[in-house]
A and B are shown apart, each in its own frame.
Chain A
Amino acid sequence: MAPNYKETLNLPRTDFPMKANLASREPDFLRVWEETRLYEQIQKAREGAELFVLHDGPPFANGDVHMGTALNKILKDMVVKSQTMLGKRAPFVPGWDCHGLPIEYKVVKESRGLAPLEIRKRCEAFARRFIDIQREQFKRLGVFGDWGNPYLTMNPG
Chain B
Amino acid sequence: MAEILRVIATFVEKGLVYVSKKPVFWSSGAQTALAEAEVEYQERDDQAVFVKFPIATGQLAGKASIAIWTTTPWTLPANLVIAVDAKEIYVVQEFRREGVSEVLVLADKLVDAFSLATGFQPTGEPMQTFPGTKLEGFGAQHPLLPRTSMILTAEFVTMDTGTGAVHVAPGHGEDDYALGSKNGFPIFSPVDDHGRYTEEVGIPELVGKYVFDANRDIVRMLRDREVLLGEQNFHHSYPYCWRSKTPIIFRAVDQFFIRIDDLRAAALDAITKVDWIPLWGENRIAGTVESRPDWVISRQRSWGVPLPVFYSGSGEPILNANWIRRLADLVAVRGSNVWFELSDSELARELGLPPGTTKGSDTIDVWIDSGVSHRAVCARRPELHDPAEMYLEATDQHRGWFQSSLMTSVALNNRAPYKTCVTHGFVVDLDGKKISKSSTYDKPVEASHFVSKHGADLVRLWASSINYTDDVPFSEEMFTRLGDTYRRMRNTLRILHGNLFDLLVSDVADVGSRSTTAATTLIDRWIVDRLDGVIGECRAAYESFEFHKVYHTINQFCAVDLSSLYIDITKDRMYCDAPNSPRRRATQLAMHRIYDALCRLLAPVLAFTSEEAWRYLGGNASVHLQLFPEVRASQRDTYVNTAVDRLLKLRAVIGQALEKARQQKLIGNSLEARVILRCERKLIDGISRDELEEFFIVGELVLEEANEPSAVVERTSFAKCARCWRHRETVGKSRTHPDLCDRCEDVVQARLSST
Contact = CB atoms under 8 A, between A and B. Distances in A.
Do chains A and B stick together as partners? Answer: yes
Interface of A: 2-3, 5, 8-18, 20, 22-23, 25-26, 29, 33, 36, 38, 41-43, 45, 51-55, 57-58, 63-72, 74-79, 81-87, 91, 93, 95, 97-105, 107, 116-117, 119-121, 123, 137, 140-142, 144, 151, 153-157
Interface stretch (B132-140, B158-166, B486-494, B661-669): B486-494
A75 B468 contact: yes
A20 B447 contact: no
Given A22-B454, A79-B390, A141-B451, 18 more contacts: A12-B574, A13-B498, A14-B498, A16-B497, A18-B494, A52-B389, A54-B390, A55-B377, A57-B392, A58-B370, A68-B436, A81-B604, A85-B600, A105-B30, A107-B303, A120-B337, A141-B459, A157-B3
A71 B459 CA distance: 8
B384 interface: yes
Given A8-B723, A16-B493, A107-B303, A71 B427 contact: yes
Contacts of B424: 71-72, 75
A20 B624 contact: no
B303 A103 contact: yes
A82 to B, nearest CB: 4
Nearest to B365: A100
A42 B244 CA distance: 45
A157 to B, nearest CB: 6
B472 interface: yes
Q: Which 5 A-B pairs have the closest CB atoms?
A: A22-B455, A12-B498, A142-B607, A70-B447, A100-B366
B574 A104 contact: no
Nearest to A121: B337
A16 B448 contact: no
B331 A156 contact: yes
Interface of B: 1-4, 30, 32, 38, 243-244, 299, 301-305, 331-337, 340-341, 361, 363, 366, 369-370, 373-374, 376-378, 381, 383-385, 388-394, 397, 401, 417-418, 422, 424, 426-427, 435-437, 445-448, 450-460, 463-464, 468, 472, 474, 486-487, 490-491, 493-495, 497-499, 501-502, 539, 542-543, 545, 547, 574-577, 579, 584, 600, 603-605, 607-609, 611-613, 616, 622, 624-628, 722-723, 739-740, 744, 747-748, 751
B451 A23 contact: yes
A58 B303 CA distance: 17
A86 B722 contact: no
A94 to B, nearest CB: 10
A68 B426 contact: yes
Given A22-B456, A41-B625, A86-B627, A55 B384 contact: yes
Contacts of A41: 622, 625
B301 A101 contact: yes
A15 B494 CA distance: 9
A57 B391 contact: yes
B531 to A, nearest CB: 17
A72 B744 CA distance: 56
Contacts of A76: 392
Contact of A75 (B301, B463, B579, B626): B463
Nearest to A43: B383
Nearest to B338: A156
B361 A153 contact: no
B248 to A, nearest CB: 13
A55 B390 contact: yes
Nearest to B541: A82
20 contacts: A10-B575, A10-B576, A12-B498, A16-B493, A18-B494, A26-B455, A38-B622, A41-B622, A55-B417, A58-B373, A67-B427, A67-B435, A74-B459, A91-B383, A97-B370, A101-B303, A120-B303, A120-B340, A123-B303, A156-B2
A53 B390 contact: yes
Nearest to A97: B370
A72 B377 contact: no
Nearest to B384: A53
Contacts of A67: 427, 435, 445-447, 450, 474
B494 A116 contact: no
B302 A10 contact: no
A154 B305 CA distance: 8
A69 to B, nearest CB: 7
A120 B363 CA distance: 11
A53 B378 contact: yes
Contacts of A105: 30, 243-244
Contacts of B454: 22-23
A144 B303 contact: no
Given A78-B463, A156-B332, A55 B373 contact: yes
B722 A79 contact: no
A120 B384 CA distance: 30
Given A42-B625, A101-B243, A142-B608, A117 B340 contact: yes
A4 B222 CA distance: 106
B393 A57 contact: yes
Given A68-B394, A95-B373, A10 B577 contact: yes
B374 A93 contact: no
Contact of B608 (A8, A29, A121): A29
A155 B497 CA distance: 49
A107 B448 CA distance: 25
Contact of B305 (A3, A99, A123): A99
A126 B347 CA distance: 28
Given A22-B457, A140-B456, A36 B622 contact: yes
A141 B456 contact: yes
A5 B494 contact: no
A54 B392 contact: yes
B543 A81 contact: no
Nearest to A84: B624
Nearest to A52: B389
A68 B608 CA distance: 21
B457 A26 contact: yes
Contacts of B384: 53, 55, 91, 93
Given A53-B385, A55-B378, A104 B335 contact: no
A65 B427 CA distance: 13
A123 B336 CA distance: 13
B289 to A, nearest CB: 18
Nearest to A7: B751
A57 B502 CA distance: 49
A71 B446 CA distance: 11
Contacts of B374: 55
Nearest to A5: B723
Contacts of B38: 101
Contacts of B474: 67
Contacts of B427: 67-68, 71
Contacts of B605: 78
A63 B438 CA distance: 10
Contact of A9 (B3, B397, B457, B575): B575
Contacts of B397: 57
Contacts of B607: 77, 81, 142
Contacts of A3: 722, 748
